[in-house]
Amino acid sequence: MNGTVYKSTGSWYTVKTEGGTFYECRIKGKFRTQEIKSTNPIAVGDEVIFELESIGDETVGVISEIKERNNYIIRKSVKLSKQTHIIAANLDQVFLLVTLNNPTTFTSFIDRFLVTAEAYDIPVVLLFNKMDVYDKEEMVEVNYLVKLYTDIGYHCIEIAAKEGKNVNKVKELMLNKTSMFAGHSGVGKSTLVNALEPGLRLKTAEISEQHLQGQHTTTFAEMYDLSFGARIVDTPGIKGFGIVDMDDDEIGDYFPEFFKLKSECKFNNCLHLDEPKCAVKEALENDEIAWSRYRSYVQMVTGEEENPYRERS
């Protein structure tokens, strides 16, 4: 039978058949994984082939094969940098939720996320959430970030999931697609899913007052069919975002505003670091490229761990 993975807990996989039936499945003893080494051989969104087996009066599925992925979002856990984890596969687009504070989303994190998505050609929409709580000064900062990322070419929407503000705009973009919500713990991913489909009642939780961070309420990625004709993957909050297996000379290509200038650099293999007559550095000096973006780029090329910062307006 063919099916799509809707949830994975590590040992069990919930798979939905084309006919709409859900089966709990596991993996055959020795499962041939794809070329990527990851802590999870199968991820939400994977298309799999499985057979049913009866154990007592229970029927379970055994997954024998995974079909080739169109794309996937993979991350390297920052501390165990050899371990990688596939968050979800076969996505049409990703919504990255960003909050200015409670919790703070730094531009270094946004940029790493965007690079990973660019590498697999997955469109990203930036959702600036909790717009109901920002004061005047914070609004200036949000507007600055919205302009920064809009100018690069990313679609940005200011929302308030809790109040339903601009949730319709998100809904429109989701029609007939498989999307994923990503972002730090506490940015409001599950709240947004609930706003889109109130019947789901996903668990959400207040930010910890002590740490001003989320409490990792969602623990496994899970896909949901929404009644307006869309599929969404709600994911657990991610902390750091290590990029996986990228050559230095490739990273600049995933910064769209750098890529546009690349042909104007003197050297065609220019890494935009210390090379003479570099069009990217010239644009940076002329304020046509944001310093925060350049700093993110340098951190990635030099293999530095994510060093959080945010460009201030």
- Give me the least distance between CB of 287 and Mg ion, in Å please: 38
Contacting ligand GTP within 103-142 (CB under 6 A)? 129-130, 132-133
| Binding residue positions for GTP | 129-132, 183-191
User: Would you count residue 278 as binding Zn ion (CB under 5 A)?
Assistant: yes
Among 243, 265, 284, 290, contact with Zn ion (rule: CB under 5 A): 265
Half-sphere exposure of 42 (CA within 13 A, CB side): 31
- Looking at 174-182, 195-203, 237-245, 271-279, which segment touches Zn ion (CB under 5 A)? 271-279
The answer to whether residue 107 forms part of the interface with Mg ion (CB under 5 A) is no
Beta bridge partners of 25: 13, 61
Nearer to Zn ion, 161 or 270 (CB): 270
Distance separating alpha carbons of residues 301 and 294, to the nearest angstrom: 11
Q: Residues, the chain, total?
A: 313
Question: Least CB distance from residue 234 to Mg ion, whole Å?
Answer: 6
Q: Which stretch binds Mg ion (CB under 5 A): 30-38, 145-153, 183-191, 302-310?
A: 183-191
At 193 the three-state DSSP class reads helix
Check if the beta carbon of residue 182 is closer than 8 Å to that of residue 96. yes
Would you list which residues are annotated within the binding site for Zn(2+)?
Answer: 265, 270, 272, 278
Cβ(290)–Cβ(296) under 8 Å? Answer: no
182 versus 279: smaller Cβ distance to ligand GTP: 182
Dihedral Cα 86, 81, 185, 166, nearest 10 deg: -60
| Closest distance of CB 279 from ligand GTP, Å | 38
Q: Identify the residue among 76, 130, 184, 272 touching Zn ion (CB under 5 A).
A: 272
- Cα–Cα distance for residue pair 160/182, rounded to 1 Å: 16
The answer to whether the CB of 122 falls within 8 A of the CB of 153 is: no
CA distance 256 to 151: 10
Number of residues that bind ligand GTP (CB under 6 A): 26
Q: How far apart are CA 180 and CA 191, in angstroms?
A: 14
Residues pairing with 52 in the sheet: 61
- Select the span of 61-69, 154-162, 179-187, 278-286 touching Zn ion (CB under 5 A): 278-286
The binding track of 214-253 with respect to Mg ion, each residue x by CB under 5 A or -, is: ---xx-----------------------------------
**Cβ-based neighbour number of residue 257 at 10 Å:** 17
- Smallest distance from Zn ion to CB 247, Å: 16
Q: Does 161 bind ligand GTP (CB under 6 A)?
A: yes
**Residues 170, 128: Cα–Cα separation, whole Å:** 12
Q: Which of 108, 78, 71, 66 is nearest to 92 (CA)?
A: 71
Residue ranges binding Mg ion (CB under 5 A): 189-190, 217-218
Residue ranges binding ligand GTP (CB under 6 A): 129-130, 132-133, 160-162, 183, 185-191, 204-207, 214-218, 236-237
Residue ranges binding Zn ion (CB under 5 A): 265, 270, 272, 278, 280
